[in-house]
Structure 1
Amino acid sequence: MKITGYRILRSFHDWGRPVGDVNGYIESGLTPVPVVLVDTDDGLTGVGMGSDHDIDRIFPAIEGEDPRSVSALYDRMLAQVFKAGHSGATFGGIGTLDMALWDLKAKAAGEPLWRLLGGRDRFVAGYASGLDIALDDDRLAAWYATMAARGFTSGKLKGGRDIPADIRRLGIIADALRVNTPNPALMLDANESWNLKQAVRHVSAVEAVHDLTWIEEPLRRWDAGGHARLTRSIRAAVATGENLTGLEQYGPLFDAGAVDVVQAGSVWGITHFLRVAYAAHSRDLPMSPVGLTGNNAVAHAAAAIPNHLSAEVQDLGAPFGITVDQEFADGGIVLGDTPGAGVSIDEAAIQKRTAAADWLVTEGPHVRPKRAGLQLVADPPPALLG
């Protein structure tokens, strides 16, 4: 089997609600979903979703190769961009191709990916995450009630600016999830918006009311010293890592004892997730993948590692023209038996329909406000947030 070429489609995800975090949000609830299809000479096609950035520069590393040599091809892709570096969106392009290669490997074996990777159980424990900074209290309650109906017992709030609001809204999430458990797990995600002492003050105030399971991305992703000081100052676990692009970037956090729940963004692919997971396992740390909606291939990998804790479930739907062989039940993801990652693509439908799905808007959650971490009050004048 040889890789012969690739194609790129651009679908979109309609979240049905505004989505975002403390850094900004997408009011339309429409976000783009690049789909990369990798073709082979025996007719099999691998599917990857996430980023299509730099695919033309990365692809020569795998063209003509046997896609089943996934780990070696992953390293070839890293080597292909050695001089310019593999961080950011380029790492996402590598991750998307990596997903397609694993999909091909499992399809060639005639097995679902979770079983090919060594998983025994098709169930992947998860937590509900509404990307909910722009939802009012009523919509917040309704969304988490929908997730509670699927058995979820844990929820994550996007917050970090307003302590009283975060306390109130975490209570709303807890009330919705109590239909399944008397003590829901509550997480708060600040998306790198604080400095160290802001984090200590904010989390301490929240912990006076709620038993917070973890605080996510409280500080800048590379601040190993700060995260280490923070985790010693609060009861909640510190969760971080989703924006680290490469196993080597986790080393300082591990060495400093700075992370309690190790995260990896699903957009970075399966091989990255597996390597980080085993590095975390060597330090007796649990692993939690972030952002599985539209990137369910990493859910298959989560089913196969020994230290999986819980996976972020942001939506019950799928991008337009994309069908995923999975269900959401019992508070997690139930993976199917379709060979590969279980993703089917309606190419004709995607090619015929487009939508205004632009994540990169001026005030979206990808843009860090210029005064983030440099504010004396929780809700400063708009002039300081631009």
Structure 2
Amino acid sequence: MKITGYRTLSTTHHWGRPVGDVNGYIASGVTDVPLVILETDEGVEGVATGSHHDLDRLFPALEGKDPRAVTTLYDAMLARVFKSSHGGATFGGIGTLDTALWDLKAKLAGEPLWRLLGGGDRFVHGYASGLDAALTDDELVTLYVAFAERGYTAAKLKGGRCLADDLRRFALVTETLGATGTTPALMLDANESWNVKQAVRYVSALEEHVDLTWVEEPLRRWDTAGHARLSPAIKAAVATGENLTGLEWYRPLLDGGGADIVQAGAIWGITHMLRVAMAAHSRDLPFSPVGLTANFAVAAVAAAVPNHLSSEVQDLGVPLGLTVDQQLIDGGIVLGELPGAGVAVDETAIRAARTAEGWQEPAGPHMRPHRSGLRMVESGGWGK
């Protein structure tokens, strides 16, 4: 069997609400979802969501090769771009092709991906994370009621700008998720918007009222020394790592004691996720994938690694034209039995629909405000 080509599509995810964080938000609640379909000479295809970046430059590392040699091909893609670096958006292209390879491998084996990777239980623990910074209080409650009805008892809120706002929002979510009598686990995601002293002051003040399980991305992703200083200064665990594009970025972070909970972004692919989980496991640290809503295959990794803590579930819907063999129930993800990652694509429906501008629109959360980490007073707005 040989890899012969690939094709790309873009669909959309309709969230039904504004989505974003303290860096910005997308008011329309419609985001783009890039898809890649890897083709073989035997007609079996691998499907992945993620990124279209640098695919033409990466694909020669795969062309004509047996797709079952997944980890070898992953390293071949890294080697293909080593002079210009595999960092940034290029890593998204590598991760998407890698996920399509794993989907192919599992289909050829006639197994669901989670079982091929060694998972013994199809249930993956999850937490609710609604990208909710722009929601009104009523909208926030409505969203987390829907999660509570699916059995979710843990939630991560976007925040870090205004203590009074965050305290009020945490109280609402605590009441919503705790309606069954369970005390919910609560997390705060600051999305790299603080410096270390801001983080200490803000989290310490918040912890006078809220029992935080973890604070996520409090500082810039590369600030190992700052994360290591922050952790003993607060009660909550420090969770970070989702935006690190390559295993080499984790070495200083982990060796320097900068993470209590090790995270990895779902968009970076299956092999990266496996390697990061094992690097964390070698240091007795828990592992938590981020962003499974549009990168469904990564839940299979969570089912297979020994140190999985909980995975981020951002929405209860799926992108247009996709069918996913998973159920979001019982406070987590129940994986299906279909061979591969369980993602089916209706290309006709996707091609007939419009595409959104996507996460990179100027007001969106992937654009860093110029005063992030430099504010002297609290601000509830964006970009101030």
Q: TM-score, normalised by structure 1?
A: 0.98
Asked whether the 8 Å contact 2:18–2:28 carries over to 1, the reply is yes
Partner of 1:141: 141
How many Å separate the matches in 2 of 1:256 and 1:375? Answer: 27
Partner of 2:13: 13
| Aligned counterparts, 1:164-313, within 5 A | 164-313=164-313
Q: For residue 305 of structure 2, what is the amino acid of its counterpart?
A: I
Q: For residue 198 of structure 1, what is the amino acid of its counterpart?
A: Q
| Aligned counterparts, 1:295-374, within 5 A | 295-374=295-374
Partner of 1:52: 52
Asked whether the 8 Å contact 1:189–1:218 carries over to 2, the reply is yes
C-alpha deviations, 1:1-40, integer Å up to 9, x for none? 1100000001011111000000000000011111000001
How many Å separate the matches in 2 of 1:158 and 1:253? Answer: 23
How many Å separate the matches in 1 of 2:364 and 2:3? Answer: 37
Asked whether the 8 Å contact 2:150–2:329 carries over to 1, the reply is yes
How many Å separate the matches in 1 of 2:106 and 2:88? Answer: 27
| Aligned counterparts, 1:36-185, within 5 A | 36-185=36-185
C-alpha deviations, 1:222-266, integer Å up to 9, x for none? 000000000010000000000000011011111111101100000
How many Å separate the matches in 1 of 2:143 and 2:247? Answer: 34
Kindly state the Cα deviation for residue 63 of structure 1 after the two structures are TM-superposed.
0.6
C-alpha deviations, 1:101-131, integer Å up to 9, x for none? 0000000000000000000000000000010
Asked whether the 8 Å contact 2:153–2:182 carries over to 1, the reply is no
Kindly state the Cα deviation for residue 355 of structure 1 after the two structures are TM-superposed.
3.4
Q: For residue 125 of structure 1, what is the amino acid of its counterpart?
A: H
Are residue 3 (structure 1) and residue 38 (structure 2) matched? no
Query: CA separation of 1:351/1:262 partners in 2, compared to 1, >3 Å: closer, same or farther?
Result: same
Asked whether the 8 Å contact 1:151–1:180 carries over to 2, the reply is no
How many Å separate the matches in 1 of 2:295 and 2:241? Answer: 17
Q: For residue 62 of structure 1, what is the amino acid of its counterpart?
A: L
How many Å separate the matches in 2 of 1:380 and 1:207? Answer: 20
Partner of 1:24: 24
Q: TM-score, normalised by structure 2?
A: 0.99
Q: What root-mean-square deviation, in Å, do the aligned CA atoms of Structure 1 and Structure 2 show?
A: 1.0
Query: Which is worse superposed, 171-180 or 311-320?
Result: 171-180
C-alpha deviations, 1:18-73, integer Å up to 9, x for none? 00000000000011111000001111000011111000000000011111100000
Q: For residue 164 of structure 1, what is the amino acid of its counterpart?
A: A
Kindly state the Cα deviation for residue 338 of structure 1 after the two structures are TM-superposed.
0.4
Kindly state the Cα deviation for residue 380 of structure 1 after the two structures are TM-superposed.
7.9
How many Å separate the matches in 2 of 1:373 and 1:104? Answer: 43
In structure 1, the gaps of 5 or more residues are none
How many Å separate the matches in 2 of 1:380 and 1:318? Answer: 30
Kindly state the Cα deviation for residue 179 of structure 1 after the two structures are TM-superposed.
2.5
Q: For residue 290 of structure 2, what is the amino acid of its counterpart?
A: V
How many Å separate the matches in 2 of 1:359 and 1:83? Answer: 28
Query: CA separation of 1:194/1:116 partners in 2, compared to 1, >3 Å: closer, same or farther?
Result: same
Asked whether the 8 Å contact 2:10–2:355 carries over to 1, the reply is no
Asked whether the 8 Å contact 1:151–1:330 carries over to 2, the reply is yes
Kindly state the Cα deviation for residue 214 of structure 1 after the two structures are TM-superposed.
0.3
Kindly state the Cα deviation for residue 181 of structure 1 after the two structures are TM-superposed.
4.3
How many Å separate the matches in 2 of 1:118 and 1:90? Answer: 28
How many Å separate the matches in 1 of 2:48 and 2:313? Answer: 19
Kindly state the Cα deviation for residue 78 of structure 1 after the two structures are TM-superposed.
0.4
How many Å separate the matches in 2 of 1:287 and 1:130? Answer: 20
Query: CA separation of 1:207/1:110 partners in 2, compared to 1, >3 Å: closer, same or farther?
Result: same
Kindly state the Cα deviation for residue 381 of structure 1 after the two structures are TM-superposed.
8.4
Asked whether the 8 Å contact 1:50–1:96 carries over to 2, the reply is yes
C-alpha deviations, 1:255-305, integer Å up to 9, x for none? 111101100000000000000000000000000000000211000111000
Q: For residue 374 of structure 2, what is the amino acid of its counterpart?
A: L
Kindly state the Cα deviation for residue 88 of structure 1 after the two structures are TM-superposed.
1.0
Q: For residue 345 of structure 2, what is the amino acid of its counterpart?
A: I
How many Å separate the matches in 1 of 2:126 and 2:252? Answer: 27
Asked whether the 8 Å contact 1:153–1:180 carries over to 2, the reply is no
In structure 2, the gaps of 5 or more residues are none
How many Å separate the matches in 2 of 1:78 and 1:381? Answer: 40
Kindly state the Cα deviation for residue 180 of structure 1 after the two structures are TM-superposed.
3.8
Partner of 1:344: helix, strand, or coil? strand
Partner of 2:34: 34
Kindly state the Cα deviation for residue 182 of structure 1 after the two structures are TM-superposed.
2.9
Identity across aligned pairs (percent)? 66
